[in-house]
Amino acid sequence: MTISSPAAFGAATPRQLAAFRAQLDEQRRFRLEQLDELREIDPDNSSEVTEVLAAGARVALSDVLAALYRMDNGTYGLCTACGAAVPLERLEVLPQVAHCLPCSRQA
């Protein structure tokens, strides 16, 4: 893990960063298992319900993978839209979040 500056992580401690990574890794595993289970239940993806569930799981997985990428390249905790620090409280609730609250409201 590369840490470019404490500001890039909203002043998160190494212990907090490790906890965020653990949460993201767990979410990644969960979403991959969810997609595998949906493939087993409906291999042809012919049910609208499984199609919607799989689409949601893919979006969530994409968000988690993007957050892990930002963590690895030293930009985790910075809003991807404006570059402002995302408050630790927001990351604690949504460790995969990419935007600060003002930018997420504009989206």
Average pLDDT for consecutive 10-residue bins of the chain (107 residues)? 44 90 98 96 90 96 98 94 95 96 92
Q: What's residue 10's pLDDT?
A: 53
Q: What's residue 45's pLDDT?
A: 76
Q: What's residue 39's pLDDT?
A: 93
Q: What's residue 26's pLDDT?
A: 98
Single-letter amino acid code for the residue at 90: R
Q: What's residue 107's pLDDT?
A: 74
Long-range contacts at 58-63 (CB < 8 A, ≥ 24 apart): 58/31, 60/27, 60/31, 60/96, 61/28, 61/31, 61/32, 61/35, 63/96, 63/98
